[in-house]
Chain A
Amino acid sequence: MASPIEQFQVKPIIPVINFTNSSLFMIGAAAVIVGGLLYATRRKALVPGRAQSVAEILHDFVANTLTDTTGREGMKFFPFVFSLFMFVLTANLLGMIPGFFTVTSQIVVTFALALLVIGTVIIYGFVAHGLHFLHLFTPSGVPGWLLPFITVIEIISFLSRPISLSLRLFANMLAGHIALKVFGGFVVSLGTAGIGVALLTPLPLLMAVGLTALEFLVAALQAYVFTVLTCIYLNDALHPGH
């Protein structure tokens, strides 16, 4: 029987250009997003059909999440946030299909995405506000003797953001998929272990079914959490003065 972590193995497909199953599913996710949205909006209907409604709901959902956190001026980041949300969501959901590779269960992928977010925050913050962006680390209304400590804490919290952002998504996807595989493995081992023990087989199967539902929830929820945190960090870049 395959080990529960075998599903996370990055296997080369075209070794010359480093094209792996991971690359395949990244491209697959992007293709599903672009193709799906283009298909959904092909009629540009005034009264949307089912597919177009889904596309519009996704659009409005991300737009509302962004403007609720950052205000109207945050809309300049809308394509970025929308791309992130759709990419993470689609990668998570594609991973739910048996036999498919889960791109977001690779720490390097989630960390790269988190660095992209933090990099955007830092670059935009300095470009838009110059050195005033550093006020992010010196909250107003703090007594003078406390300010050095607060600044140190703020800097540590800022630096830990990409780590927590990437670890949260990575760990959720990894743990969920391992748990699914483990319970799926129990079904097989119990079923083949003998007549008496085989009667217990439905129990891990039920568990696996329940976990599958939970994992769909986690897949959507973690994409949302990643997006909300991105919006909160972008808000710091837009309004560094607390």
Chain B
Amino acid sequence: MAQAQTTQAGTEAQGGAHAADATFPPFATETFAGQIIWLAITFALLYTLLSRLVLPRLSGIIENRRMLIAKDLDEAAAMKTRAEEAGTAYEKALAEAKGRAQALAQETRAKLAAESDAKRKALEADLNKRLAESEAAIAAKKTEAMSHVRGIAAETATAIVERLTGKVPAPQVVDAALDQAKA
């Protein structure tokens, strides 16, 4: 009890002294040295712990995440490039195949056309040949027939003259008469 009273009195006395000195606690110079020393110790400790232990860990986490995201993005970009390349290759292959198919079709068409052309030509040639043969045969027959006409005419003329005159005309006379008639 007595002790408590003393303490209280002491505090009051101190407060009174402060009021008298008008020493504002933050300006109490006798505390400065101790505060500076402890601030130096604390801040040095804090700086050391943060820069050696905490910040490398924290930066490591953030940097690690950033790198992982960058890597994933790079991979995605590479995959996209690959997909695009595959698409281009597919389109190229398709265009090539189309071109080949067209060329093949063209070739086949040309071959078939040439074949049918050749067949037609052979047929035409054959027909022409036969036509020419037939024409030649007809002409020969005609010539042959025409060569018989003079004989028939001479015979006929001889027979007519014989019937009319009762005499067989001389063949030279008949020939002459035929030549005359022909002319």
Contacts and interface: CB of A to CB of B under 8 A. Distances in A.
A56 B61 CA distance: 9
Contacts, number: 120
Contact of B58 (A18, A37, A108, A113): A37
A109 B41 CA distance: 12
Contact of A44 (B26, B49, B61): B61
Contacts of B40: 112
Interface stretch (A2-10, A192-200, A205-213, A224-232): A2-10
B45 A108 contact: no
Nearest to B37: A18
B26 to A, nearest CB: 5
A74 to B, nearest CB: 15
A19 B33 CA distance: 11
Size range of the chain A interface in the assembly? 35 or more
A30 B35 contact: no
A116 B61 contact: no
B65 A83 contact: no
B interface secondary structure, majority: helix
B53 interface: yes
A18 B38 contact: yes
Contacts of B33: 18
B34 A18 contact: yes
A180 B53 CA distance: 38
A90 to B, nearest CB: 10
B62 interface: yes
Contacts of A48: 61
Contacts of A65: none
A105 B45 CA distance: 21
Given A34-B46, A46-B64, A55 B36 contact: no
Contact of B26 (A6, A45, A46, A174): A174
B53 A83 contact: no
Contact of B31 (A22, A26, A33, A45): A22
Interface residues of B, number: 36
Interface string A76-105: 001110110011000000000000000001
B62 A116 contact: no
Interface in B31-84: 31-40, 42-43, 45-47, 49-51, 53-55, 57-62, 64-65, 68
A22 B38 contact: yes
A163 interface: no
B26 A8 contact: yes
Contacts of A46: 64-65, 68
B15 interface: yes
B26 A107 contact: yes
A28 to B, nearest CB: 9
A41 B53 CA distance: 11
25 contacts: A3-B15, A5-B25, A6-B15, A8-B25, A10-B31, A22-B31, A23-B35, A26-B38, A26-B39, A26-B43, A34-B54, A37-B50, A41-B54, A46-B65, A52-B61, A56-B58, A79-B51, A80-B51, A82-B55, A83-B43, A107-B27, A108-B36, A109-B39, A116-B43, A174-B26
Interface of A: 3, 5-6, 8-10, 18-20, 22-23, 26-27, 29-30, 33-34, 37-38, 41, 44-46, 48, 52, 55-56, 59-60, 78-80, 82-83, 86-87, 105-109, 112-113, 116, 170, 174
Closest CB pairs A-B (n = 9): A18-B34, A79-B51, A23-B38, A8-B25, A10-B31, A26-B42, A30-B46, A108-B32, A37-B54
